[in-house]
Amino acid sequence: MSLGEDVRFAAHEIMEQEEVTIISHIDADGIAGEAILAQALSRAEIKTHSVFVRQLEPLTMHLVPQDDTFKLFCDLGAGQQNLLEERGLPEDNVLIVDHHVSQPCEMEYRQVNCLPYGHTKMSAAGVAYFIAKEMDSGNVDLSKIAVVGNVGDMMAREDCGLTGPAREIALEGRDHGCIDIRARDLNAYGTSTRPLHICLAYSDDPLIPGISNNINGARQFLRKLGIPLQAEGGRWRVWEELDADEKRRVTSALVQQLIACGEPVDRLFSETYLFPDEFVRTPVRNAQEFATLLNACGRWSQPRVGGAICRGDRLSAYREAEHMLANHRAVIRELLQYILDTGVAELSHVQYIHVGRKFPDTIVGIGAGMALSKLNIHKPIMIMVEQPEDPVFTKVSMRTTERVIAKGIDLQQALTVASAEVGGAGGGHKIAAGAFIPRESEEVFINRVNELLAGQSAQPGQGHC
């Protein structure tokens, strides 16, 4: 079998259905994947209903309806097939669209999963797009949302741009006219909405001495180059609106700065994905910021608002999402500060912190990833938080870096094994994984994860997944 054959099978199977329930994840990829599938289905006049879950866990399984509708799992399911079986879902009534590592299960549900075919840098929204395109080639417009899902799930991060089938989707979108691909653009977050000096100062990949984490330094750097920071009327300018000559002056000065400090320059540039049909200086103008907007909706329990934005709402849902985005950023900043102020405990192969019930379980993973660049980036970070519905359980999020996984670290493997041993469950990717565990096992669990990571670092790594 090939991914293409699985996609054809899935499209055919879906087209046979009268009524489908889509069960999707609350992050940017899950919201994007649901929007793609639901739109493709409704265009094919198939009745569709969607359910969002923060994760498939025993505590959330009651949200999966036990009715006769065909169940389409998106961005989850591969690693939780045992839970689907326990819920009594028949094999021929389920299809999993995923990019996570599968866990063995007595009942093997049908899947379209890019991972077993070696496509490690494609998200569930990407897989969903291929199915939608197979259902009807007119669904090519959904490539825009697929690119948002891919970029939101960090599929462009390691290579400074999308690769493989995920890039093919971007090219299809470009040919359709809904995506503008910018080669060798600035590799920084917030190029459409952040004031230029803030955009540079908040950028830490690559770390630019004197500019990264230094707003005054970034402001002075731009002033010396004669780049006006403000437009007429005093509004802050953003990277996207600089003209070609201004962009060239900034990037060549950044290159010089990096070279002068003996730092590599390769990560200064990235391929980026802009949406020409969106207003300039809005968070839906580029794939990265669009994905953050979706994450803000999902992590604050409003994934349907994100879904409405994917479907084109730029009025009430969009305004609601903008409020959530501001709140999302404020709470993540607060979490980051809390981690830095409180400090992390360190074992030989992991650094960790328990935040109790101070922060929502849905955002601690994002905070963990951001905190890492300000802590010891060579050691994976684990954040534990009380599970909101049932404090008998603890939610665990882990993050690490590309460099560390290249040395053999696999967070998904460590969390899957260690959580199963204490009666919990976990999954995800080598670089970002999560789990839930009984609260009473926290200490045993941390020590076991440390031991597993120590074992992995003795083995050579095999790259991303």
Binding region for ligand C5P (CB under 6 A):
55, 57, 79, 100, 365, 397, 425-429, 432-436
Residue 339 CA neighbour count, 13 Å, CB half: 29
Copy the structure tokens of residue 177: 């006219």
Phi, psi of 202 (to 5 degrees): -85, -5
H or E element at residue 180: strand 180-186
Least separation in angstroms between residue 57's CB and ligand C5P is: 6
Is 375 strand, coil or helix?
A: coil
Copy the structure tokens of residue 24: 């999707």
Complex with ligand C5P: residue 157 or 237, whichever CB lies closer: 157
Complex with ligand C5P: residue 38 or 154, whichever CB lies closer: 154
Least separation in angstroms between residue 78's CB and ligand C5P is: 9
Distance CA 187, CA 200 (A): 10
Closest CA to 199 of 236, 169, 153: 236
Triad 214, 218, 222: Cα angle to 5°: 170
Complex with ligand C5P: residue 115 or 188, whichever CB lies closer: 115
Complex with ligand C5P: residue 30 or 195, whichever CB lies closer: 30
Bond before 206 cis per omega within 30 degrees: yes
Copy the structure tokens of residue 394: 């603890």
Is 432 strand, coil or helix?
A: strand
Least separation in angstroms between residue 27's CB and ligand C5P is: 7
CB atoms within 10 A of CB 419: 24
Least separation in angstroms between residue 65's CB and ligand C5P is: 21
Could you tell me whether strands 70-74 and 19-25 are parallel, antiparallel, or unpaired per DSSP bridges?
Answer: parallel
Copy the structure tokens of residue 167: 């890039």
Complex with ligand C5P: residue 71 or 429, whichever CB lies closer: 429
Is 190 strand, coil or helix?
A: coil
Helix, strand, coil % over all residues of the chain, rounded to 5: 50, 15, 35
Complex with ligand C5P: residue 3 or 411, whichever CB lies closer: 411
Least separation in angstroms between residue 269's CB and ligand C5P is: 27
Partnered with residue 353 across adjacent β-strands are 383
Least separation in angstroms between residue 131's CB and ligand C5P is: 20
Complex with ligand C5P: residue 269 or 436, whichever CB lies closer: 436
* DSSP secondary structure code for residue 409 in this structure: -
Complex with ligand C5P: residue 25 or 133, whichever CB lies closer: 25
Distance CA 395, CA 361 (A): 7
Least separation in angstroms between residue 299's CB and ligand C5P is: 9
Least separation in angstroms between residue 167's CB and ligand C5P is: 21
Complex with ligand C5P: residue 275 or 436, whichever CB lies closer: 436
Least separation in angstroms between residue 434's CB and ligand C5P is: 2
Kindly list the strands in the beta sheet with 432-438, ordered across the sheet, starting from the edge strand earlier in the chain: 345-346, 351-354, 381-386, 393-399, 432-438, 425-428
